[in-house]
Structure 1
């Protein structure tokens, strides 16, 4: 069965080929009308094809059936890809015109251009009688021309355009043709509602949806994820689009009401439906006038976000009642609290709300919704699933940009520098792996590890900074939220996620502070911290970062893995890190590799590393004892005397004093 587009392409080809075969002037007008259609449909120019086919169509015995087939295929492809056509209306127009040879002049005004004006269908019934009369007259004239075709040639006059006061004919007049330009069709007044934006032109940001954090080339908003209420809402919208009605999407603040309404509307009505978006303070009283005499074959929608702000305006309930009576779809959103306050009691809007259909959007996402979310490849959803804490997905996405911007700007002069540093400390500790909370003592210590700034943080006490950072924003969450243990605090998850993607690296000394605090945390969090530490520093070490090698060596030494510690310290020492050389010399001395330890301890001692010179002296003492014993065995009397001076009064061997005792403390200064 042929589709509407296929039927339309056939009928349009009939009109085009009829114009090709007719008068040159008619053809020029038709040609000018067809070209914009092809350009609008994103196809190549067809000027040459049209002209060549015009030549073929006027030849004796021209195969016009073949021409119609060619242009039917071309037109169908344009109609299929162009996406700009109201097929049903234009098909009715062309059905009347395609087989009417005398209608090509009219056709080029509203058919060849393929953008028929909205007023034409309404006017078509009124002009039907006139069109039939004109067609009969032109058919009789054509028959007269055919009847005289076999008669001897006769002189005749043709007056084209303008007005002639007198025409003198020297012979008998067989026919007189007066060609005047067709009167242009002037569209009557069209309803303003027919010029409202199309539904497929609506953008969520323009409707008031809060922007999310944006990374790299990501779009301003992540993809819409289907909510459990979408099917129910779509049914309500389709019914209201057909019969008229008020549909209200309700839910808590930041639950995603606007996005849900937007998605359901786009899924429930035609893309070319017209929509009026009423912002706050918009006067709704003239909407019935805008909709008067509208194109009733299409759908018209009035969008009212936060309906309660409009209900405060006098006359709004009456306007809503009028719109729904006139079969207009009114789609609105309301917070649960606002809906209950206006719906129940003596509020003027209670009556109109009583006949509204409602769909509820829950703040908390169901397991089914979360499963759908997890299948979408967008980093913002990944962060939301990991870091949202006690908040909903939509709350996390909506509040993230505000929290980040407020924290970022607090560092500026005149802001809250101590509060900024306090929140940064919590963010960095979470990035280190301490995600379950940190004590105020640790937060205060970490604050002191950051580089000094031009602003003086002394104007604000630590307690004042903590009170500012923990105050709820939008009644939902603070920059800092309570940790899992009493008296602890942690940064809200969106700040940690954003810092992971866009913030500076966590300073090395913050990592060390976090590792020093391991005793205050349980085994799981300690393991997470160590794993995160390695994940952060191993790539740096692999890239030749001597300081990263130093920290990894200290961690391995603290865990008792001396073999790994020696490897990391040796790599750092080879790259000029004197403190790593001292640690390596210490480990070598402990396992009595004195000869190998000496050059490393010498480097550390010469660089002023604390304890390195004393340990180097001890190692030299041990080496002296060893070699004096060899000399004594060979009969060297002086060696015996010197050996007695090196041994302790008890006669026991020298012990190795732990001047550079193992552990991270000896390496705290990254120097």
Structure 2
């Protein structure tokens, strides 16, 4: 499994136990106090009490969600996470997947078939969320569905989370996954006086004002100062470091080979400092300086070195504290030079072009991202084709977007199949949409399973729809869980519906909260129903706003009911407009009530159409009242049929009045039955009048 897991083993049982590892093997930075093989002696742990980090970690690790510790570089994220996992699961096995292997890792029998407790370690989570084999909610759910207990933990730098939260539709899965995770926010120990005092006690004379313990132990402030000072004092050294930093910032997760670093540095110096005479020897000397730990910097250097055996040269990764600094953690963010994206990908593979395209997209350079994906797509890279299609679709190039999705789908890319199915369904090509959904669903794409289930549900194939929705729901697809819960609610399986809806609601799905509130309301749990509707309403769900307004209206909280009705009505929710009109009518604001009903009536709400007709009828605008009555009556509204009958009855059109009375009466409208009886009695049909429906 050495190709899948950073700490190699031939079986899951041979994976190391948590208690057999140390935090430095799992990503913590070495220092003069602690390093690989020297854990637990002079590197005492300082409890993280601010924001109750340690306590919250201990609690969240016993749950069933991805646990992510988020904070600035060198805040102590990895160390704190390791200490918490060690305290809760000391004998659990640990697997740290290699980047780009998650799909194979999850399916591997040595992982999926292992029945023991397994901790999946994802240090620097951002590297697992983009590119091929990215971590998605569905993939995470499959990982969690192992027969044994699975704990998935991760660290994430704050500035990387900020980038990951953008991306529009293209990275919706990332936002959903981060939104569903249990997130523990961690700050530097310098931000809290209690933690600062504890750090000074544990490490006397090691922590200076303004810096956290993790920063000081790693020697990070000295390295950053050296880097910043080199801008003027040693431009060759500064260019070496900044070039390696930018290599990482554009999304290249591979180390930069020394010959490539040397060439890029020479190119950058020619562009930025043409007055300098710099030869390869000077650049090589600066690289040596950058990879060598300096006094006071612990065991860390500006460039971290690896041997690239396949190339026979050294490769370098920048110290992540310097990357974070150039992204704005300690001073103003430094932009990546425009030409560097091209220089650093000149001979890149399609896979690298795709990764760097993602980096450009996250940095809001969408044109560059599109260009890079175009190059990768031209080389046959199907994820690049899929992303390219998505951005083209977003900007309105629908035909070209569909062409790329067709190419990627034909080559087996399931995400492209699902997107193609969505476009085809939207334009009414349901048969072809279903074909692509089925291909992707059969290959395990959970969004396609959900879309197929919804399509089948809409055409009435409820049994097969439920089958696909259950498969996607089992894999953790929140939309499928919600739709399945709604389907079960509609057919009366309220207990199971509640189970699924609660699960989706816990993941923040507002539609699930809204429908859960409806289930609870129907069984009389009004307080909990109100709680659900409030959560969903505050998150912007207009159905929840309307339902909450109705509940408040019914119990007499008219001011707050009006507030929620108005919010939903402003977003175009016609039921809210209708009910707002009723509330306004009850307090005598007939003009505004009419305005509400006219808006909702124009959008086809039959209750508003009927109410508007009644209002007009009562004030004598009989011609317009009749127009609205007829529109609602033809849509099947029995109150409108009845009132239309009354209007016709009043003006003497008894035959047509009887027709509408009978239609409404046959549908169970008791007012219509009464009015029909009166009409029949008036004309002397006493037997028919007494036996009217």
Q: What TM-score, normalized to structure 1?
A: 0.29
Between 1 and 2, higher relative CO (CA 8 Å, sep ≥ 6) is seen in: 1
Bigger Rg, structure 1 or 2: 1
Structure number with the higher helix fraction is 2
